[in-house]
Amino acid sequence: MAKLLQIPTLSDDRGTLSVIEKILPFEIKRVFYIYNITSPRGGHAHHKTCLALITLGGECKIDINAYGKKSSYHLTSPSICLLLEPHEWHTMHSFSPTTTLLVLASEFYDPKDYIYEEPQEQ
C-alpha cells in the first residue's frame, strides 16, 4: 500500500540537507526526474517495480488505485517521499509551474513491467 515516508532532514544557517540512506525498502536501480510538466503523468502501474517519489521543488498531487481502493496524496516538500508498491496504479497531476519530481525505482526500465489497464473496484 502506498505510504508517506519522512526523509531525515537537517537544517542550520547554511541551509537544509535531506538524506536518503537506509530508509527505502529497496535498492535503487534507476533514477529519473520530470519537470516543465504540462499535463498529467503516470497513468500506469508496474508488475515488479517499487517507486519513491519526491518533489524537489514545487508540488503535485498523486492519485493511487490499488486493486480498486483509491487514495490521493499531495506532495509539497522535498523532505517527504511517497512510496509505491508494485500493482499500484498512479497518476501525477496538478503540478505547480516549478515542480521537479524525482523518482527512485527498484528496477531497471523494462517495457514488459508496465500495466496500462487501471484496476476496477472490487
What positions carry a catalytic annotation? 44
Q: Residue 54's CB: how many other CB atoms inside 10 A?
A: 21
Q: 79 and 6 in contact (C-beta within 8 Å)? A: yes
Q: 74 and 98 in contact (C-beta within 8 Å)? A: no
Residue indicated by cell numbers 487514495: 71
CB-based contacts of 111, cutoff 8 Å, min separation 6: none
Distance from the first to the final alpha carbon of the chain: 16
Backbone angles phi, psi at 89, to 5 degrees: -65, 130
